[in-house]
Amino acid sequence: MSGWDFLGEGVELAFELIVDLLDRSDKKDQQNAPPPPAPRAPPEDCA
């Protein structure tokens, strides 16, 4: 096994780890995020 094979495998593992962490933080943000603001009525409805 050459050094390049080892490096490529390490990069692949690191990439998977980063994607996993991003996925988890996204889910955490969705759980803790406040509900989206209600859509505003168009101006003609308010007049």
Tell me the per-residue pLDDT of 3-39, one tens digit each, with 9 for 90 and over: 767 778 888 999 999 999 998 877 776 676 666 677 7
Q: How many domains does the chain have?
A: 1
- The range of the structural domain enclosing residue 18 comes to 1-28
Any domain includes 44: no
28: region left, alpha or beta (phi > 0 left; psi from -120 to 50 alpha): alpha
Amino acid at 16: E
pTM over 0.95: no
Count CB atoms within 10 A of the CB of residue 19: 10
Any domain includes 34: no
Any domain includes 42: no
Determine which helix (DSSP H) or strand (DSSP E) holds 1, and give its type and residue range: none
Any domain includes 10: yes
Query: Which tokens sit at 4?
Result: 């390049």
Whole-number Å distance between alpha carbons of 43 and 40: 9
Any domain includes 4: yes
Per-residue model confidence (pLDDT) at position 40:
74
Per-residue model confidence (pLDDT) at position 9:
85
